[in-house]
Copies of this chain bind each other. A is one copy, B any other.
Amino acid sequence: MKPRARAADKRRRLTTEAARVLHEQGVERTTLADIARAADVPVGNVYYYFKTKDDLVLAALSEHSAHLAEFTGRLDRLPDPRDRLKALIEAWVDQREVAARYGCPTGTLAVELDKRADGTLDEEAGTVIRRLLEWTGDQFRALDLPDPDDLAVTLISAYQGMSLLANALRDPDLMTREGTRLLGWLNSLQAPDQTA
C-alpha cells in the first residue's frame, strides 16, 4: 500500500465520518476527538489533513453538496420533470427514520452555522440549500408552471418544516403523512392553458 493512497484514504474517511458525526451531534457538541475516533485516526494527526475544525465542517458540507449533485444527476435521467420531483419526495420519506432522529443534514447544519456572529461558514450551508432550490425551480419551470421559483421555495420549505417537526416530535410517520400530501399537491398543479 503506497503512502499516497493511505493518506488519501484517511482524508476520505475523515470527511465521510465528519459529515455523519456532525449531522448526528451538531457542530458545537462534536469534538475533533469524536471525528478522529469514528474515522480511526489519531487525534493529533487530524491536523495533518485539516488545518482547523472549521475546515472539517467545510469538508462535511462539500460531502453533502456532492451527495446532492449526484442524486439530482440521477433524477435528471427521468424524462418527466414531475416524476423527478415525485422521486425526490419519495426519497425524503424513505429517509424518515434518520430525519426523525437527527433532522435534515443540511437544514440543521444551516441553523447552527447561522447562529455565528462571525461571518465564517454561515454562507456555505445556505449555498447547498440554494442549489437544491435552483434545481427544484428548474423542474417546475420545465413543467411550464407559473412562479416556478416560488413553488420551489414552497416545496423545499415543506421538506425542511416536516423534517424539523418529525425530529422535534420524534415521529417518522409524520414524514409519511406529509409526503403523501405533497405528492397530491404536486399532482394537482396544472400548467395554464396555452391554446389561446
A28 interface hit (Cβ, 8 Å): yes
> Which residues in B have their C-beta under 8 angstroms from that of A126?
168-170
Contacting B at CB under 8 A, from A125-160, are 125-126, 129-130, 150, 153-154, 156-160
Interface set of A (CB-CB < 8 Å, partner B): 24-26, 28-29, 102-103, 107-108, 110-112, 114-117, 125-126, 129-130, 150, 153-154, 156-162, 164-165, 167-170, 174, 177-178, 181
Of B103, B108, B111, B115, the residue contacting A29 (CB under 8 A) is B115
> Which residue on B lies nearest to A106, using beta carbons?
B168
User: With A and B bound together, what is the CA distance between A156 and B166 in angstroms?
Assistant: 12
Whether the pair B168, A162 counts as a contact (CB closer than 8 A) is no
Taking chain A's interface residues, is the majority helix, strand, or loop, or is none over half, making it mixed? helix
Supposing A160-B161, A174-B153 touch, asked if A26 and B167 sit within 8 A by C-beta, the answer is no
The quantity of this chain's copies bound in the complex is 2
Q: List 24 A-B contacts (CB under 8 A).
A: A24-B115, A26-B112, A28-B28, A29-B116, A107-B168, A108-B111, A108-B115, A110-B167, A110-B168, A111-B164, A111-B168, A112-B112, A114-B167, A125-B168, A130-B169, A153-B162, A153-B165, A153-B178, A156-B161, A157-B158, A157-B164, A157-B178, A159-B161, A160-B164
Of B125, B150, B177, the residue contacting A150 (CB under 8 A) is B177
Of B125, B162, B169, B181, the residue contacting A161 (CB under 8 A) is B162
> Which residues in B have their C-beta under 8 angstroms from that of A117?
25
Whether the pair B157, A114 counts as a contact (CB closer than 8 A) is no
